[in-house]
Chains A and B, each alone.
Chain A
Amino acid sequence: MVGMGMPAYGIQSMLKEGHKHLSGLDEAVLKNIDACKQLSQITRTSLGPNGMNKMVINHLDKLFITNDAATIVNELEVQHPAAKILVLAGKAQQEEIGDGANLCVSFAGELLQNAEELIRMGLHPSEIIIGYAKAINKTIQVLEELVEAGSDTMDVRDTNQVISRMKAAVASKQFGLEDILCCLIAQACIQVCPKNPANFNVDNVRVTKLLGGGLHDSKIVRGMVLKSDAVGSIKRIEKAKVAVFAGGVDTSATETKGTVLIHSAEQLENYARTEEAKVEQLIKAVAESGAKVIVSGAAVGEMALHFCERYKLMVLKISSKFELRRFCRTTGAVALLKLSPPNPDDLGYVDSISVEEIGGVRVTIARNEEGGNSVSTVVLRGSTDSILDDLERAVDDGVNTYKAMCRDSRIVPGAAATEIELAIRLKEFSLKETGLDQYAISKFAESFEMVPKTLAENAGLNAMEIISSLYAEHASGNARVGIDLEEGTCKDVSTNSIWDLYITKFFALKYAADAVCTVLRVDQIIMAKPAGGPKRDAPAGMDED
């Protein structure tokens, strides 16, 4: 399409019509930078506790209201190839740590913006890349020096220590609610923390969202909460053994299509009766094995249900394979494929299973207070689906932070204190460099100002004032002074105990720098013509009619 109307020359003549080809500083590098800047501008206003939410409506018409950068960039459907690199960096951060995606994307955007200035000054991208690479190595070195002394060992089972490390991460998602949420998350995580904390599995902390009530009504359940009713009429049972059948509780039928041939009247009369007897025998055998609860992974036959009621067995149906697996983990049961009498070893145990009504929804709660409690559930309450979804994301971030701190518990001062300190130290470092990369390193240092600036702007404070007073404080040796957003002043973060995990910062900065270098390295973009272009719109139009 670019080639249309223009005489084909150079590379254009080699490519099929419809290709897009952009090259050179102006067309490729600066454009790429611009696109990335735009993306980071969207996420930037969501940074920090006072960040604003975004309403994102995705292509399925689902509404997201969130300030979680990972969710935003995920649902935005970014098309620009360079901006996509930033998105990938954000995603990598989300997968590695589960938090700090916003820092990653916004910081990368800032770095690129500063790179643009350098390019306009006349620096070649490759010089910037070398400078940035040097800067990030130095940053990592400095970051390590900033780690709080004595924070490298912690007891991951101590609620207070966990909360102090988790607070900043959760507060940046749900400001004002972090105290309640942190408490819930910490409890849930500690409950399921295995003997070796490094093996902590994020999947073991479940979240169940129930509409109605408020966050204050949220609670922790040691065990699982299933959003369904029990199948039979028995709704509550205590201290019971559990048999889990993954393949459903029903008369066994053949997969191959078969026909029963009946030769005489007697056979016809007995046909139904034998089937009935078979089911009764199976259910009776289960009941005799000591199980009081039957959990089925698929359909529960009416005949089977009838006999379960007769033998006073509680019947639950969990159709999701994942849920069933978790249920097995909670109860310690082994899922049997076929309806057959279970071995005593295969039976699980629950303290209680009961059907309760929460906010108009009937849920089945399986509790396991002691021993084998490898799953815990956070029951979230909130007035709308979007609030609940956002709370869930905050919980997820919290849980991920817990996992990260199980790996590496070192912390650095939060509330932009670390960033300012890094900026100062890098600036010093840059002056010692002799080459042109000096400029790049000094710009890298400046980019760190973005964090306090955005935090202050989002809170409605005067950013320049804050930054200058932060610099002043740090220059006089108070390396732990950050912004106190509630009062709008600069304060030692240790008084408010705002700490960030070292590992979160480390990866966010590293991924950001890597992504930026990748974007800067590109000097040509060649885009193939999208396949089947015009077809896209026609069916959509028809749908609306």
Chain B
Amino acid sequence: MATMLQPQIILLKEGTDTSQGKPQLLSNINACTAVADVVRSTLGPRGMDKLIHDEKGNTTISNDGATIMKLLDIIHPAAKILVDIAKSQDSEVGDGTTTVVLLAAEFLKEAKPFIEDGVHPQNLIRSYRTAGHLAIEKVKELAVSIEGKSLEEKKSLLANCAATSLSSKLIGGEKDFFASMVVDAVLAIGNDDRLNMIGIKKVPGGNMRDSFLVNGVAFKKTFSYAGFEQQPKKFVNPKILLLNIELELKSEKENAEIRLSDPSQYQSIVDAEWNIIYDKLDKCVKSGAKIILSRLAIGDLATQYFADRDVFCAGRVTEEDLHRVAAATGGTIQTTVNNVIDEVLGSCEIFEEKQVGNERFNIFSGCPSGQTATIVLRGGADQFIEEAERSLHDAIMIVRRAVKNSTVVAGGGAIDMEISRYLRQHARTIAGKSQLFINSYAKALEIIPRQLCDNAGFDATDVLNKLRQKHALPSGEGALYGVDINTGGIADSFANFVWEPSVVKINAINAATEAACLILSVDETVKNPKSESAQGDAAASAMGRGRGGAAFRGRGRGMRRR
């Protein structure tokens, strides 16, 4: 230790890393800008995709901001905040993840010169907060309600929202096709919407247009035993029994043991075991159900037994699917076959097993409660379908939010330009430093139309100037003008059906402002050395959690699905 000659003061543990002051703040801003540069080019309909190759060798092609941010594995503490806001946007609204990261980074970038000039960050923060608040109020004011329209009208309105979201994705070419599919799916699950009631099944092969929506449930044929072929594969108005037990010849309980004094009784025990399983099977059939699904295995004996009685069965159905079938058909999952009453059986109009690609699919359609929908996705490569699934997820979320909040704003950068104009105008009424800060906030908002142009290969400055002129018209008629991605000029976004639910914008502005303020408010980083024992603890607790909970079940399920 160097304490011998010149005893220095060790306040903190050895290995602790501290950095502070203005350089620290600037380096945080730089880190955030660097992260935003990665996702920058994915924005908008002409955005490019990213191919990410992770350490396990999985390849992901994506254009979804949240997915990219998640896979980037960022360790810089300040830049991590951007990952967090992307996640938050994803969970709150599901789309606009790139937007939120971009906005936050741009706010910071605009703040940088001020910090360098010695402005106290708190002054900036206060102005940014005010500006963010004003911007949100303005979005709310500009939003157009779609409440009270007829179902047909509403459907087309929602489809527009979905199409706007999809147009920036890989499947943008087929956006109308998928938009209507997504809207149907979301409307099908009704008001008590639960996202997991919309299933998305991926089948490689075919092309995108072969994708279809099942108004009910569909899942891939499960592993089956001999005798399965003899079972009927199509039913009209069948009764469905959902089970959570094994229909196999097996010991009843692990801790039971049989001791016999009389060898002649041995046969009776064997018979008894057979009786138990036959009894179960008999009860299943007697319940009147024509389709029997179980989360656990249905053995070959049972398969044969059901085949003989013209009953369809499928074992090892994943729990998700089983719950979905339960919700769709109105049945409840049974853990025992005793006392199966009619009430617990589900029903649907048509059940059939169909060939999709090179997979067989069990499809339940025309379900009475109708609270489920399944989208079967087709397409070429695995990565392609994965990305399509993510895109559909975004679109579904967008439509769900639009249904809930039912206000929309013009997309294509129109709303951003309008808020920017409004804030600039507002800034002029402020005396003091705050004027500059709100102006720079307004300027940062222009990043959205600017990036849209850059990504599409247009001259951003040119388009932006045109937009500014339109929005500055005193009559306010230009308020809905945004970037026209087809011609490279400007167009009325609202009339062209480029719509976004207002909640997406509100949340994006809110989150981006919060994150920017948070990063600006940090002037010191202290990094403690990692403690080894703690690391072990963390790993152990993570494992412990995994063992007990969903991860365990997940493992079992995941293997069979792929």
Residue numbers of A with Cβ under 8 A of B are: 1-2, 4-5, 20, 22, 27, 31, 34-35, 38-39, 42, 45, 50, 52-61, 63, 65, 67, 75-80, 83, 175-176, 211-214, 216, 233, 235, 257-266, 268-269, 271-273, 276, 302-303, 305-306, 309-310, 357, 359-362, 382-387, 458-460, 536, 539-540, 543
A residues less than 8 Å from B80 (CB atoms) = 63
Query: Using a CB-CB cutoff of 8 Å, which residues 115-135 of chain B contact chain A?
Result: 119-123, 125-126, 129
Q: Point out which of A55, A80, A259, A543 has the most chain B C-beta atoms below 10 A from its C-beta.
A: A55
Q: Are the C-beta atoms of B255 and A34 separated by less than 8 Å?
A: no
Question: Given the known A-B contacts A52-B522, A269-B276, are A77 and B84 also in contact in the complex, defined by CB atoms under 8 Å?
Answer: no
In the complex, chain A residues whose CB is within 8 Å of the CB of B268 = 264-265
A59-B534, A268-B273 are known contacts. Are A386 and B84 too (CB-CB below 8 A)? yes
- B555 beta carbon closer than 8 Å to chain A: no
- Which B residues lie within 8 Å of A35 (CB)? 9, 11
Chain B residues lying within 8 Å of A77, measured Cβ to Cβ, are 12-13, 16, 528
| Interfacial chain B residues near A60, Cβ < 8 Å | 530-531, 534-535, 538
Query: A34-B9, A60-B538, A211-B91 known; A272 and B531 CB under 8 Å?
Result: no
Closest to B273 in A: A268
Contact in complex: A5, B272 (CB < 8 Å): no
Docked pose: A34 CA to B3 CA in angstroms: 16
Do A5 and B122 form a contact, CB below 8 Å, given A55-B526, A268-B273, A306-B336? no
Residues on B lying within 8 angstroms of A by beta carbon are 1, 3-4, 7, 9-13, 16, 77-78, 80-81, 84-85, 87-94, 119-123, 125-126, 129, 192, 194-195, 244, 252-253, 255-261, 265, 268-269, 271-273, 275-276, 279, 326-327, 332-336, 338, 344, 507, 510-511, 514-515, 518, 521-532, 534-535, 538
Q: Are B518 and A65 in contact (CB under 8 A)?
A: yes
Contact check, B338 vs A273: say whether CB atoms are below 8 A apart.
Answer: yes
Asked if A459 contacts B120 (CB within 8 A), the reply is yes
Which residues in A have their C-beta under 8 angstroms from that of B510? 213-214, 216, 383
Complex contacts, A175 vs chain B, CB 8 Å? 122, 126
In the docked arrangement, what's the CA distance between A271 and B257, Å? 12
Asked if B84 and A55 sit within 8 Å, CB to CB, the answer is no
Do A384 and B91 contact each other (CB < 8 Å), given the known contacts A55-B524, A63-B80, A265-B268?
no
Most chain B Cβ neighbours within 10 Å, of A5, A78, A258, A360: A360
Establish whether residues B272 and A269, one from each chain, have CB atoms under 8 Å apart when the complex forms: yes
Which residue from B129, B256, B265 sits with its C-beta under 8 Å from A260?
B256
Contacts of A78 in B (CB 8 A): 11-12
For this complex, 9 residue pairs linking A to B, each with C-beta atoms less than 8 Å apart, are: A55-B522, A58-B528, A59-B531, A63-B77, A176-B129, A263-B258, A264-B265, A306-B244, A306-B335
Q: Please, which residues of chain A bring their CB within 8 A of the CB of B259?
A: 261-263
Apart from A302-B335, A383-B511: 20 A-B pairs, beta carbons within 8 A: A53-B518, A57-B77, A67-B521, A76-B528, A77-B13, A77-B528, A79-B13, A80-B12, A213-B92, A260-B255, A260-B256, A261-B256, A268-B269, A268-B273, A269-B279, A359-B91, A360-B91, A384-B514, A386-B518, A387-B514
Q: Using Cβ atoms and an 8 Å threshold, which residues of chain B touch A67? A: 521
Top-8 shortest CB links A-B? A212-B92, A460-B120, A360-B91, A383-B511, A384-B84, A306-B335, A265-B272, A52-B523
Q: Which residues of A contact B90 (CB under 8 A)?
A: 360
Asked if A384 meets B194 with Cβ closer than 8 Å, knowing A56-B526, A359-B91, the reply is no
Interface centre among A45, A214, A271 (most CB of B within 10 A): A214
**What residues of B have a CB within 8 angstroms of the CB of A216 in the complex?**
510
- Interfacial chain A residues near B77, Cβ < 8 Å: 55, 57, 63
With contacts A53-B521, A260-B256, A268-B273 known, is A59 near B9, CB below 8 A?
no
- Complex CA–CA separation, A302 to B87 (angstroms): 34
Residues of B within 8 A of A65 (CB): 81, 518, 521-522
Closest to A45 in B: B523
Q: How far is the CA of A6 from the CA of B128 in the complex (A)?
A: 60
A543 to chain B, nearest CB (A): 7
Chain A contacts of B334 at CB under 8 A? 306
